[in-house]
Amino acid sequence: MTDSIDKSDPVVRGKIAQRFTDAIPHNRAIGLTLISAGPPDVHTRLAYREDFLGNVKAGLWHTAIATTAADSSCGLAVFLAMPGMEAVATLDLRMDYLRPAVAGRDLEIVASCHHVTRNVAFATAMLHQGDSGRPTARCTATFMRTGGSVLP
Amino acid sequence: MSASRHDLNRSLSGTAARRLRDARARGDYKALIDAIPFARFLGLAVVDEGDARRYVMPYRDTHVGNAAKPALHGGTVAGVLELAMQLETLISQTQPRLPDPVDFTIDYWRAAELADCHVAARVIRAGRAIAQVQAECWQGDRGRPIAFARGDFVLRAAEASALD
């Protein structure tokens, strides 16, 4: 039944993506919200919170919270690129911190899955604060296909 | 620029230096953590172990990534690893403020169970401008690490300090 899901249909993608992000307690804890599930790209947003600051005096986000948002968003992009409801797990992930994210502004995450093989999937994400031409970070991640379903 | 000049630039003065020195002498890094909202958000603690430091992220329900498996969110593990590397660089290299990360890479070796995370971080090389750092995360068994991370951080000469 799950194999018949059409993940290229924007409405279906949106519904699956919403359930996927809502089902992750830590995503709820940080307030990561789905803006668009594509296709092709997944767009999420992390609303600004003082809790996310690394440097209060300079008014800058801590970089590590961007890693969490990127991991979740890439994971969703990969999940939507695979047939069925197969669960994935992050194998490795790299962040390049291109410029600081400033306090008071949200963080936008645009994630893409580029390729799926028998065992792994490759994804990237760009993070910015409203101007995609001035990204704050770039993420490259590899995910492992688990073979198991995300459904209980 | 001579090595001694670097050392001079690296040395701290004023309140920041005193606080960092006091923290090291007393093995109490709570004030450092308190100055970083995101470290507080994750519940991070620093345990003084004489020559080394251990960074701890206590288990919290809000850190769960997969309730069915169950497992911690990989982002929280990445968070404690990056903060540990950053704090270790700050402390061991007597930096005037929290060093900015250039990049960060994590390898996930095992799923993170619903338990505390412990991290040991080591500055592999501290050059003129960049420190190269590695860290490992484990839970119950130090011999079975769950993740490994590496990162580069910008080193700075002593100046106005975020620790003031």
Q: What is the pLDDT of residues B144-163, one digit of tens each?
A: 999 999 999 999 875 444 44
A127 CA: distance to closest CA in chain B (Å): 14
Assign A3 a pLDDT band (cuts: 50, 70, 90).
low
Rounded Cα distance between A80 and A8, Å, is 8
Say what the pLDDT of residue B158 is.
56
Rounded Cα distance between B85 and A84, Å, is 39
How confident is the model over A60-119, as pLDDT tens digits?
999 999 999 999 999 999 999 998 888 899 999 999 999 999 999 999 999 999 999 999
Question: What DSSP assignment string belongs to B76-107?
Answer: HHHHHHHHHHHHHHHHHTT-SSPPPEEEEEEE
In three-state secondary structure terms, B14 is helix
Do A106 and A47 meet the contact criterion of CB atoms below 8 Å apart?
yes
Nearest CA in chain A to B43: A51
Q: Which residue has the higher pLDDT, B139 or B15?
A: B139
Which residues of A fall within a CB distance of 8 Å from B78? 64, 67-68, 71, 93
Beta bridge partners of A145: A88
Q: B41 and A89: CB-CB below 8 Å?
A: no
Return the minimum-mean-pLDDT range out of A17-26, A124-133, B30-39, B80-89: A17-26
What lies within 8 Å, CB to CB, of A13 at 6+ separation is: A7, A37, A38, A39, A80
In three-state secondary structure terms, B42 is helix
A to B CB pairs, distance under 8 Å: 118
Nearest CA in chain A to B164: A57
pTM of the model: 0.91
Strands across the sheet containing B52-57: A32-36, A42-46, A107-116, A120-128, A137-149, A86-97, B101-108, B147-154, B130-138, B117-126, B52-57, B45-49
Q: A92 and B67: CB-CB below 8 Å?
A: no
B156 CA: distance to closest CA in chain A (Å): 15
Assign B30 a pLDDT band (cuts: 50, 70, 90).
very high
Do A128 and A89 meet the contact criterion of CB atoms below 8 Å apart?
no
Round the average pLDDT of chain A to a whole number and report it.
93
Q: A68 and B105: CB-CB below 8 Å?
A: no
Say what the pLDDT of residue A150 is.
76
Query: Measured between CB atoms, does B161 come within 8 Å of chain A?
Result: no
Beta bridge partners of B120: B136
| Amino acid type, B114 | L
Structure tokens at A91: 């194998």
Rounded Cα distance between A56 and B32, Å, is 13
In angstroms, what is the C-alpha Rg of chain B?
A: 16
Cα angle A119-A108-A38, degrees, rounded to a multiple of 5: 55
Classify residue B17 as exposed, middle or buried by CB count within 10 Å of its CB (0-12, 13-18, 19+). Answer: middle
Q: Which of A65, A86, A107, A127 to mutate to test the interface with B (most CBs of B within 10 A)?
A: A65
Q: A51 and B38: CB-CB below 8 Å?
A: yes
Query: Measured between CB atoms, does B150 come within 8 Å of chain A?
Result: no
Rounded Cα distance between B90 and B35, Å, is 13
Q: Which of B73, B117, B163 to mutate to test the interface with A (most CBs of A within 10 A)?
A: B73
Say what the pLDDT of residue B51 is.
84
Return phi, psi of residue A64, to 5°. Answer: -65, -30
Nearest CA in chain B to A152: B68
The closest CB to that of A67, out of B104, B111, B162, belongs to: B104
Round the average pLDDT of chain B to a whole number and report it.
88
Nearest CA in chain A to B162: A57
Rounded Cα distance between A22 and A57, Å, is 33
Query: Measured between CB atoms, does B62 come within 8 Å of chain A?
Result: yes
Query: Measured between CB atoms, does B36 come within 8 Å of chain A?
Result: yes
Say what the pLDDT of residue A22 is.
82
Q: Is the pLDDT of residue B143 over 70?
A: yes
